[in-house]
Structure 1
Amino acid sequence: MKLLPRIAFAACTLAAGMGLLSCEQKKTLKLFSWTYYTPTDVVKEFEQEFNCKVLVTEYDSNETMFNKLVNGGAKSFDIVVPSQDYVSIMMKRGMFQPLIQSKFTNRNKINPKVLEKITYDPDMIYAVPYYFGAAGIGVNKKKVPAGDYERTWNIFADPRFKGHASMMDDYREVIGDALKYKGYNVSTSNEREVSEAVNMIREKWLPNIVKFDAEGFGKDFARGDLWLCHGYAEVIYGEVPESEWESTIDFFIPEEGGASYLDSMCILKDSKNAELATEFINFIHRPENYAKFLDFFNFPCFVNLEAQKYMKSTPLYPASAMDKCQLKDDLGDNLDIYYKKWESLRLQVN
């Protein structure tokens, strides 16, 4: 041992013995996830229990996440949280590595009904479900009396909402919901069915829609500019003071169901922390920890049913409302069928 390393080692040992620092370098787990999707207190508890540091980087869409990873960012992260269609795409491209199954002791906590939906990885080799959810419809009860309207996607054809209605700027969501209303699969590759759904949107819904918007609809609803909006419950409720929820908001997922999503936690192929990453995924699915995630957003309990007994919040909508919802599958080359029709539709509003 050379002199300088010897001195450094001795100084470090002395300092550690005095409780001043530790020579052991803490591992850092790098999480790439959706904005505000991981409760801070759960992360802190994991850091304390596993003597590590968790760095969270956020994204606002699957497209943003995917583009960053394929353009050199994949080596910068350990865990990513894509939605079901992107899990399928990324699995086909070999972008994940398997979980260490011996560390995944909470696999039995995952709802079997969820596993039936993940045909791309039903054994959770690469992807562990995080949250199953769906967008729905928010109605301002101060503008239109509750119950005095159709509780289906065809509410967007109601002329009373003209100039005060919006749908998400997301073609898989909007076209998928129209397909579901027509009785078709939200991921159909039948061009006739897609055309039928798009024509209905253009002729019946579009005259009342003031814009397609996936970001500001919550604020517009809270201001009273929108009386009817398509979006996520947590966004709509999050912009309205809680004291006004009951008097203002009627949120529902239409009775026929709609397009849904399933975000999953996956370990990237280039991660050097597969064991710690698996521990994190397993930690999230301890029922008491998963309950904190649900409470943070007032989400219903569907993925990890044991978490329900630890929940302290009242969900914004019941889990049963998603029973008829369908996942948006990876469409591959058939995606163009949707995209081209959507661009034509979108230009008529924005």
Structure 2
Amino acid sequence: MRRFCFLLIFHAFFSLVGLPAFAAQENVLHVLAWPGYADDDVVKSFEEQYQAKVVVTFVDSDESLWDRMHAENGSLFDVVAANTAEIQRYVQERLLQPLDPAALPNTQKQLPRFRDLSSISGLVQEDKVYAIPFTYSAMGLIYDRRQVPVPPRSMSELWNPRYQGKVLAFNSAQHNFSFTALTLGFRDPFRLSADEMRATANKLVALRRNLLAYYSLPEEATDLFIRHRAALLFANYGTQQLTQLRQAGADIGYVIPDEGAIAWLDCWAMTRAAKNRDLAHAWINYMLEPAIGKLLSERQGLANTQVAPSELSDKTRLIWLQPVEDVARREALWSRIVSGERGEPF
């Protein structure tokens, strides 16, 4: 009943403040996003407000996002949700077009740190705004309180022989190399030298001894964690996974390691292929409504850009994602790592 009442208010609110409807023949919006960013009721409310049809495609990794954005010369989507590092890549590849800040009044409802776009690397290039912050989280460490009674202090615990067969890792070249390089104490986890790359690859090979499985989606990780009684989980999706696991009944804790944590900031952007700029702007502005941010936090456990989360303090060391030194090299090495090669070839 509570959710039903909320949705009635939600629909009524947007019906009052909605912009004029767009022409029906131009009214299809293709959205590329991550799970939880565009739930059915959220999409339906937008469709009703703008008399539009929204087609959502979900991805489960940055690599999948990249492939989707390049399919058919990038013509399949109008708006995309991507982290700051990916946004920089897409701008360089000319896959995005600039946004009109005047068409996004809801940015004024965001926290000051997210309104200052020039302070966030990659969002503003040549005085043009290419993306607007939407949600963020730190890639912390989730642990089972029964098996790990003392909160871990470092990501290095993932390699502790005590947890052999009890570790869940994320299936991604970019983030695994970065967090492992940070754990090893390298100065810049996004710009590794040849020697640092080799050391990081060998460290990831060593992690296989403790591995229960690699996961792609947070729902998959939740299922594996509970069914197989995992002890440690590299939380690529951050507090979203914390929420899902607790909702599933897991007795878990969440920590940001002493060495800090890689953190992602996902933003909405408009693709180069978007023809209906007004509808694309309307979607991005709609996603910045406080009501949407509240749903995102309540359902997914993700931070929104209007209210600071309780899990992260001002002293928390977060290392925002940046483009890496060689994507192809990382992916090639990762393919060899997950295939079971021994460390010597690296």
- TM-score bracket, normalised by the shorter chain, equals 0.7 to 0.9
Whether the 8 Å CA contact 1:138–1:252 is kept in 2: the answer is yes
Matches within 5 A, 1:170-319: 170-183=172-185, 184-202=187-205, 205-215=207-217, 216-231=220-235, 232=237, 233-235=239-241, 237-239=243-245, 241-242=247-248, 244-245=249-250, 248-301=251-304, 304-305=305-306, 307=307, 318-319=311-312
3-state DSSP class of the match of 2:323? coil
Relative to structure 1, the CA distance from residue 294 to residue 347 in structure 2 (aligned partners, 3 Å threshold; closer, same or farther) is same
Relative to structure 1, the CA distance from residue 58 to residue 198 in structure 2 (aligned partners, 3 Å threshold; closer, same or farther) is closer
CA distance in 2, matches of 1:64, 1:343: 15
Instruction: Please report the RMSD computed on the Cα atoms of aligned residues, expressed in angstroms.
Output: 3.1
1:91 corresponding residue in structure 2: 91
Matches within 5 A, 1:28-107: 28-72=28-72, 74-107=74-107
Relative to structure 1, the CA distance from residue 337 to residue 44 in structure 2 (aligned partners, 3 Å threshold; closer, same or farther) is closer
1:160 corresponding residue in structure 2: 162
CA distance in 1, matches of 2:98, 2:318: 29
Whether the 8 Å CA contact 1:84–1:328 is kept in 2: the answer is yes
Whether the 8 Å CA contact 1:128–1:266 is kept in 2: the answer is yes
Whether the 8 Å CA contact 1:129–1:265 is kept in 2: the answer is yes
Match of 2:327 among 325, 332, 335: 335
- Name the count of aligned residue pairs: 312
CA distance in 2, matches of 1:322, 1:170: 28
Whether the 8 Å CA contact 1:42–1:292 is kept in 2: the answer is no
How many Å apart are 1:72 and its aligned residue? 0.9
How many Å apart are 1:42 and its aligned residue? 2.9
Question: 1:144-181 CA distances to partner (integer Å, 9 max, x unpaired)?
Answer: 32x2x532101113222112113222222222112222
The percent of aligned pairs where both chains have the same amino acid is 21
How many Å apart are 1:265 and its aligned residue? 1.0
The code of the aligned residue for 2:321 comes to K
Match of 1:320 among 301, 313, 318: 313
For structure 2, which runs of at least 5 residues remain unmatched after alignment? 1-20
Whether the 8 Å CA contact 1:100–1:275 is kept in 2: the answer is no
For structure 1, which runs of at least 5 residues remain unmatched after alignment? 1-21, 309-314
Q: Based on CA coordinates, which of the two structures has the bigger radius of gyration?
A: 1
3-state DSSP class of the match of 2:303? coil
3-state DSSP class of the match of 2:82? coil
Relative to structure 1, the CA distance from residue 219 to residue 37 in structure 2 (aligned partners, 3 Å threshold; closer, same or farther) is same
3-state DSSP class of the match of 2:153? coil
CA distance in 2, matches of 1:286, 1:213: 31
Relative to structure 1, the CA distance from residue 217 to residue 349 in structure 2 (aligned partners, 3 Å threshold; closer, same or farther) is farther
Whether the 8 Å CA contact 2:61–2:216 is kept in 1: the answer is no
Whether the 8 Å CA contact 2:140–2:256 is kept in 1: the answer is yes
